[in-house]
Structure 1
Amino acid sequence: MLNSPSTLPLSRKQLRSVARAQARINIWHGAVRSGKTVASLLAFLLAVAEAPPSGLIVIVGRSLQTIERNVLEPLGDTSLFGPVAASHVRHTRGATTAVILGRTVHLIGAADSRAEGRLRGLTASLAYVDEATLIPEAMWTQLLARLSVPGAKLLATTNPDSPQHWLKSGYLDRAAELDLRAWHFKLADNPSLTAAYVASLAAEFVGLWRRRMIDGAWVIAEGAIYDQFDEQQHVVDTLPAITRHWVGLDYGTVNPFAALVLGLGDDGRLYVVAEWRHDSRKARRQMTDAQYSAALRGWLAGLQVDPEWTFVDPSAASFLAQLWEDGHPGVTRAKNDVLDGIRTVSTALAAGLLRIHRSCTGLLAELPDYVWDAAAAKVGEDRPLKRNDHSADALRYVVHSTGAEWRHLLQHQGVSADAPA
Structure 2
Amino acid sequence: MLLKKVLNKHFTQKQQMVLNQFVNNKDWSLMINYGAVRSGKTIANNYCFIMSLIQVRKLADKDKVKDPLYILAGTSKKNIYNNVLNPLFNDFDLIPEQDSIGNLHLFGVTIILAYTGTIAGLRGIRGSSAYGAYINEASLANEKVFEEIRDRCSEGDGRVICDTNPDIPTHWLKTDYIDNPSKQIISNHFVLDDNTFLSKRYIDTKKATTPSGMLYDRSVLGLWVTGEGVVYEDFDQNTMVVDKAPDNLEYYCGVDWGFAKGHENVITVLGDDPETGVTYLTDIFSSTGKFIDYWVDIAHKIQSRHGDYINFWCDSARPEYVSYFQQNNIGARNADKSVMNGIEFCAERIKMGKFKVLRKCAKPFLDDVFQYVWDPVKGVPKKEHDNVMDSFRYALYNQHKKYDNQIIRNVYL
Q: Same fold (TM over 0.5)?
A: yes
Q: Distance in 2 between matches of 1:246 and 1:95?
A: 44
What is the aligned partner in structure 2 of residue 260 from structure 1?
Answer: 268
What is the aligned partner in structure 2 of residue 369 from structure 1?
Answer: 371
Equivalent in 167, 187, 194 of residue 182 of structure 1: 187
Q: Distance in 2 between matches of 1:62 and 1:89?
A: 21
Q: Distance in 2 between matches of 1:115 and 1:190?
A: 33
What is the aligned partner in structure 1 of residue 279 from structure 2?
Answer: 270
- How many residue pairs get matched? 383
User: Runs of 4 or more off by more than 6 Å in structure 1?
Assistant: 92-95
What is the aligned partner in structure 2 of residue 382 from structure 1?
Answer: 379
The answer to whether the Cα contact below 8 Å between 1:235 and 1:357 also exists between their aligned partners in 2 is: yes
Answering whether residue 133 of structure 2 is matched by residue 127 of structure 1, we say yes
Q: Distance in 2 between matches of 1:181 and 1:120?
A: 26
What is the aligned partner in structure 2 of residue 343 from structure 1?
Answer: 344
Q: Distance in 2 between matches of 1:214 and 1:256?
A: 36
1:97: Cα distance to partner?
3.0
What is the aligned partner in structure 2 of residue 312 from structure 1?
Answer: 314
The answer to whether the Cα contact below 8 Å between 2:98 and 2:105 also exists between their aligned partners in 1 is: no
Letter in 2 for 1:39: A
1:336: Cα distance to partner?
0.8
1:273: Cα distance to partner?
0.7
Aligned with 2:245: secondary structure?
coil
Matches within 5 A, 1:112-151: 112-151=118-157
Q: Distance in 1 between matches of 2:309 and 2:224?
A: 41
Q: Distance in 2 between matches of 1:156 and 1:306?
A: 49
1:109: Cα distance to partner?
2.5
Percent identity between matched residues is 26
What is the aligned partner in structure 1 of residue 409 from structure 2?
Answer: none
Aligned with 1:106: secondary structure?
strand
For structure 1, the residue ranges without an aligned partner over 5 or more in a row are: 281-286, 406-421
What is the aligned partner in structure 1 of residue 399 from structure 2?
Answer: 402
1:6: Cα distance to partner?
6.6
The answer to whether the Cα contact below 8 Å between 1:289 and 1:318 also exists between their aligned partners in 2 is: no
Q: Name the CA shift for 1:267/1:18 in 2 (closer, same or farther; >3 Å).
A: closer
What is the aligned partner in structure 1 of residue 116 from structure 2?
Answer: 110
1:136: Cα distance to partner?
1.5
Q: Name the CA shift for 1:308/1:296 in 2 (closer, same or farther; >3 Å).
A: closer
Moved more, 291-300 or 267-276: 291-300
Letter in 2 for 1:31: A
Q: Distance in 2 between matches of 1:169 and 1:350?
A: 32
The answer to whether the Cα contact below 8 Å between 1:370 and 1:385 also exists between their aligned partners in 2 is: yes
Aligned with 2:6: secondary structure?
coil
What is the aligned partner in structure 2 of residue 296 from structure 1?
Answer: 299
Aligned with 1:355: secondary structure?
strand
TM-score, scaled to structure 2:
0.86
The answer to whether the Cα contact below 8 Å between 2:113 and 2:124 also exists between their aligned partners in 1 is: no
The answer to whether the Cα contact below 8 Å between 1:245 and 1:306 also exists between their aligned partners in 2 is: no
1:289: Cα distance to partner?
2.3
Q: Distance in 1 between matches of 2:224 and 2:277?
A: 35
Matches within 5 A, 1:21-100: 21=22, 22=26, 23-51=28-56, 52-53=59-60, 55-77=68-90, 80=91, 85-86=92-93, 88-90=94-96, 96-100=102-106
Q: Distance in 1 between matches of 2:78 and 2:5?
A: 30
What is the aligned partner in structure 2 of residue 352 from structure 1?
Answer: 353
Q: Distance in 2 between matches of 1:130 and 1:391?
A: 35
Equivalent in 233, 236, 240 of residue 242 of structure 2: 236
Q: Name the CA shift for 1:242/1:274 in 2 (closer, same or farther; >3 Å).
A: farther
Q: Distance in 2 between matches of 1:232 and 1:333?
A: 34
Aligned with 1:311: secondary structure?
strand
Equivalent in 188, 191, 197 of residue 196 of structure 2: 191
Aligned with 1:89: secondary structure?
coil
Aligned with 1:141: secondary structure?
helix
Q: Distance in 2 between matches of 1:373 and 1:182?
A: 27
1:7: Cα distance to partner?
8.2
1:257: Cα distance to partner?
0.3
The answer to whether the Cα contact below 8 Å between 1:245 and 1:307 also exists between their aligned partners in 2 is: no
Q: Distance in 2 between matches of 1:95 and 1:160?
A: 34
1:362: Cα distance to partner?
1.7
Matches within 5 A, 1:157-176: 157-176=163-182
Q: Distance in 2 between matches of 1:140 and 1:299?
A: 49
What is the aligned partner in structure 2 of residue 283 from structure 1?
Answer: none
The answer to whether the Cα contact below 8 Å between 1:247 and 1:307 also exists between their aligned partners in 2 is: no
The answer to whether the Cα contact below 8 Å between 1:276 and 1:299 also exists between their aligned partners in 2 is: no
The answer to whether the Cα contact below 8 Å between 2:303 and 2:310 also exists between their aligned partners in 1 is: no
What is the aligned partner in structure 2 of residue 14 from structure 1?
Answer: 15
